[in-house]
Amino acid sequence: MSTGNDDLGAWTRRHIIELAFELADSSRYEDFTDVAYALQFERGMAMTQTLIDDADMCHQLNTRCGNAREALASLAEQSNQPQQ
């Protein structure tokens, strides 16, 4: 039987993971440790570490952080190219 606490816990976990992906995709963070720090200490989400301290989640966040930084670098490079 589902309780309100189960629903709240599931929503909280989903919300933290969505925020972690959003932060990783922002290009402002180097890797999952930076994302975890931002969620835990800047946004006050204490249970962050237990949710993203999983090898698969760490890999996903690291990949997303890297992809976002590469995309930003590519945009910066394109904007520095002379117009023809």
> 19 in a domain, yes or no?
yes
| Residue 53 covered by a domain | yes
Whether residue 35 lies inside any domain: the answer is yes
What pLDDT, on a 0 to 100 scale, did the predictor assign at position 63?
98
Helix axes 4-25, 55-79, angle to 10 degrees: 30
Count of domains forming the chain: 1
Q: Are 45 and 16 in contact (CB under 8 A)?
A: yes
Task: Give the domain range for residue 27.
Answer: 4-79
User: Is residue 84 assigned to a domain?
Assistant: no
C-alpha–C-alpha distance, residues 1 and 12, integer Å: 19
Residue 50 or 27, more confident: 27
Could you report the per-residue pLDDT of 31-67, keeping only the tens digit for each? Answer: 999 999 999 999 888 888 887 878 999 999 999 999 9
Query: CA dist 48 to 19, 21, 53, Å?
Result: 10, 12, 8
Residue 9 lies in a domain: yes
Q: Between 2 and 47, whose confidence is greater?
A: 47
pLDDT at 4: 65
**Residue 3 confidence (pLDDT) above 80:** no
